């Protein structure tokens, strides 16, 4: 029987050729002391990303989709293809600056109670990127729509969701962390399940972390590794459609997971509130010079644009 690898790195890609190139270069430059494979799943990019990977990185396992499948299906495909004890969901707009994956594999080996974990994320200027979220109630969601965090920066109502007082120097159990560089134990995805394919991208991380917690699995943050994250490079290519997809996903998440309540009345109210939030965010998009889709507290700052160069 073949000995399993330590880690599968699953890198979904959509029109981020230059960032994808730099990401893969950094993986091979910094990763030592573990056995690993890289699976890149190109989602029918138009910028030559798939050809670049095929020509430049012969060791990468490349899947070239002929039609757009979405982040969730691509990531799940990577997990099904994995030959390793752990899988890492890794965004193409990330960059390694140290041997982060050896540290993460060692952390998971030393902490068998951890089902999944994420490292410290850094902005391009190496400041800490606030990637931890608490599960929140409907009031927080409504206040977000009206930029409450900007009007009242110290409000505990939004601070709780954004975890602005989180201690990023300490490893600890958390409610939710983004799947930017997210290590999952094989037994976790085999027993608890993979990402929910009812979502394409948005809310898929929140839904997965919520599902794991409901089933009694522990999700952790660890500062033992650092990964640079440029942020939202794919979704910002089509901001208006991304905003609509985000709010559709919020409604779907609430109705599938009873996140804000189980009654039909509460779900109707949430649907109406989310639609109002969607219209408000679209208006804000047209009026604001900041065209990013994700820009709440802790979101990555405006970063370099991906190009086909």
pLDDT digits (tens, 9 = 90+) for 119-146: 999 999 999 999 999 887 766 666 665 5
- 39 within a domain of the structure (yes/no): yes
What is the mean pLDDT of the segment spanning 23-36? 98
CA 187/CA 181 separation, integer angstroms: 18
In a domain, 79, yes or no: yes
Looking at every residue in the chain, the average pLDDT score rounds to 86
Q: What is the pLDDT of residue 156?
A: 67
CA angle, residues 186, 189, 192, in degrees to nearest 5: 130
Distance of CA 125 to the CA centre of its chain: 20
CA distances from 154 to 142, 161, 252 (A): 17, 12, 30
**Confidence bin at 82 (pLDDT 50/70/90):** very high
Give me the domain span that covers residue 226: 5-136+156-234
Determine, yes or no, domain membership for 228: yes
- Find the CATH number of the domain harbouring 50: 3.90.550.10
Residue 306 in this model has a pLDDT that exceeds 50: no
Q: How far is CA 41 from CA 18, 111, 222, in A?
A: 15, 30, 27
Name 229's bridge partners. Answer: 94
Number of domains into which the chain is organized: 1
pLDDT grade for 176, boundaries at 50, 70 and 90: very high
Alpha helices, H only, the chain: 17-30, 49-56, 71-81, 100-110, 138-145, 148-151, 156-162, 186-191, 204-214, 239-257, 264-287
The pLDDT confidence band at residue 261, using thresholds 50, 70 and 90, is confident
Task: Reply yes or no on whether the pLDDT at 15 is more than 50.
Answer: yes
Of 26 and 292, the structure prediction assigns the larger pLDDT to 26
Structure-token pair, residue 134: 């608490």
Dihedral (CA of 199, 203, 209, 212) sign: negative
Model confidence at 277: pLDDT above 80? no
Is residue 182 in a domain? yes
> Which of the four pLDDT bands, split at 50, 70 and 90, describes residue 260?
confident
Lowest mean pLDDT segment, chosen from 37-41, 96-100, 199-203: 199-203
> pLDDT over 70 for what percent of the chain?
80
Identify whether 146 is part of a domain: no
Split at pLDDT 50, 70, 90, the class of 291 is low
Judge whether 266 lies within some domain: no
| Residue 241 forms part of a structural domain | no
Q: What is the mean pLDDT of residues 149-160?
A: 65
Is 295 part of a structural domain of the chain? no
């Amino acid at each position: 029987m073949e000995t399993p690898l330590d880690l599968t790195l699953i890198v979904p890609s959509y029109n981020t050729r230059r960032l994808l190139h730099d990401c893969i270069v950094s993986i091979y430059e910094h990763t030592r002391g573990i056995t690993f494979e890289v699976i890149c799943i190109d989602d029918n990019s138009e910028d030559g990303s798939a050809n670049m990977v095929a020509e430049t990185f012969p060791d990468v396992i490349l899947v070239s989709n002929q039609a757009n499948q979405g982040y969730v299906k691509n990531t799940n495909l990577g997990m099904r293809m994995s030959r390793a004890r752990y899988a890492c969901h890794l965004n193409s707009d990330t960059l390694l600056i140290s041997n982060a994956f050896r540290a993460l594999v060692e952390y998971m080996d030393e902490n068998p109670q951890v089902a999944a974990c994420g490292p410290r994320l850094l902005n391009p200027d190496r400041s800490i990127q606030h990637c931890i979220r608490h599960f929140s109630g409907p009031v927080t969601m409504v206040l977000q729509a009206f930029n409450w965090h900007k009007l009242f920066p110290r409000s505990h109502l939004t601070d709780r969701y954004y975890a602005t007082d989180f201690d990023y120097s300490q490893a600890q159990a958390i409610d939710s962390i983004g799947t930017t560089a997210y290590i999952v134990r094989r037994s976790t995805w085999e027993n608890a399940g993979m990402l929910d394919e009812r979502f394409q991208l948005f809310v898929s991380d929140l839904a997965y972390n919520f599902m794991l917690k409901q089933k009694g699995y522990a999700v952790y943050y660890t500062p033992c590794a650092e990964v640079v994250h440029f942020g939202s490079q794919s979704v910002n290519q089509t901001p208006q459609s991304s905003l609509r997809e985000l709010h559709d996903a919020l409604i779907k998440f609430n109705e599938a997971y009873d996140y804000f309540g189980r009654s039909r009345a509460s779900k109707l109210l949430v649907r109406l509130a989310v639609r109002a939030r969607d219209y408000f965010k679209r208006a804000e998009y047209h009026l604001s010079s900041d065209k990013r889709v994700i820009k709440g507290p802790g979101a990555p700052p405006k970063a370099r644009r991906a190009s086909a160069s």
